[in-house]
Amino acid sequence: MEIGYAKVNITPPILTCSNGGFFADPMEFHKGVHDELYGRAVVLKEGDQIAVIVSADLINLPRLTVNNITGMITEYTGIPREHVILHATHQHSGPFSYRSREGVRNDPYWTVIEQKLAGAVYSALQDTREFLVGSGSNELEMSLNRRILQEDGKVLYLPHHPGLKPNQAVDNQVGIISFRKLDKRPLVTLINYSCHPLTVGFVPGLISADFPGVAVREVEAQLFGSAMYTGGACGDVHPRRHCEGFEAMEELGRALADKVLETMPFIKTQKGNGLKILRKELQLELVPEKVDLNEDIQEFRQGTTYDFDITAITLNDIALVGIPCEYFVEFQIEIREQSPFTHTFLLTTSNGYVSYIPGRKAYNQGGYEANSAKFMPGTGETIRDNIITVLEDLAAA
């Protein structure tokens, strides 16, 4: 089994609009670059079986963009689109992605992004080598659940009520996959953590990858290898220092990197083997009055249903699962507990973006995420159960 890696710079030009809705004027352009944005691609190859994981410092990758990228990947490499996870780190200090806001999205930039990310996969496939792989985890307590449950069963949104005490679930796990050369030197380190990249937030006018960029920078500097970040289920999880700027970004990013570096000596590795890929499509019911309130759903729905993709890649005792939403953290904890794989990582905001998918009880509790949800109550549980089934099928294959 072999691995290839490539990295491309995807920093947008100056005067490309912000995303995340942080500016009252949608034409409030970025006026500088604090730190560069990158796309990183890992290609795993075992015989004729090839899997791709791409991580890009973007708020999301809309489904049409994903289709364009995977189309190019298939055209130039022959890798099926079903074998690709295109992940956005969901940072909120970069280019606006949706085409529905005319004059806000920089269309020529996104055309280049598609070419660059597809090109990174092509480049990674041209230079592969055998590798060792192992996985481990650590704990980092620098996030909180932003949904504060009240005695009346309703929730308040923490950013609007900063004096309240968080009382809902978080997942402090720092997940690590260490790909190494046969002489055990670091090759690529994949970091997985579940926290909204929102330490920078309201700092105006400067492009940034937020804390994931800092974590990758620090790990690469210490290990003399490459690194990439993937975000887990963080639909209801914020950094403790929410929207406080670049000092907060550096603090969280460095703390995350320290946990990775602290864990690396204890990760046992072996040769990569048993590469498997499975994509499952779910037909999910939409809330009828919300079918046109998300670009992906509006363009690709079938009436009041939407075909939702689960993409799983497994090797050795490791599983990675890509889903196109902001998923509640409770589901990630349950999936990991029930997974047949020793190390299981969710990669949310992957292969599209359909907004928030909360748990059933959240719909009665209210709050920003539940009010933003486009799917019927129970959808989160359906996705959870199907992810577990997919992993069980891969383990038995």
What does the pLDDT look like over 162-197, one tens digit per residue?
A: 889 999 999 999 999 999 999 999 999 999 999 999
Taking residue 169's Cβ as centre, other Cβ atoms within 10 Å add up to: 15
| Burial of 333 (C-beta count, 10 Å sphere; 0-12/13-18/19+) | middle
Distance CA 220, CA 148 (A): 37
What does the pLDDT look like over 40-94, one tens digit per residue?
A: 999 999 999 999 999 999 999 999 999 999 999 999 999 999 999 999 999 988 8
Q: What is the pLDDT of residue 117?
A: 98
What does the pLDDT look like over 88-145, one tens digit per residue?
A: 999 988 888 877 666 667 888 999 999 999 999 999 999 999 999 999 999 999 999 9
pLDDT higher than 60, residue 21: no
Q: What is the pLDDT of residue 25?
A: 58
Q: What is the pLDDT of residue 159?
A: 86
Q: What are the structural domain ranges in the chain?
A: 2-129, 130-270, 276-396
Average pLDDT of every residue of the chain: 94
Distance CA 391, CA 397 (A): 10
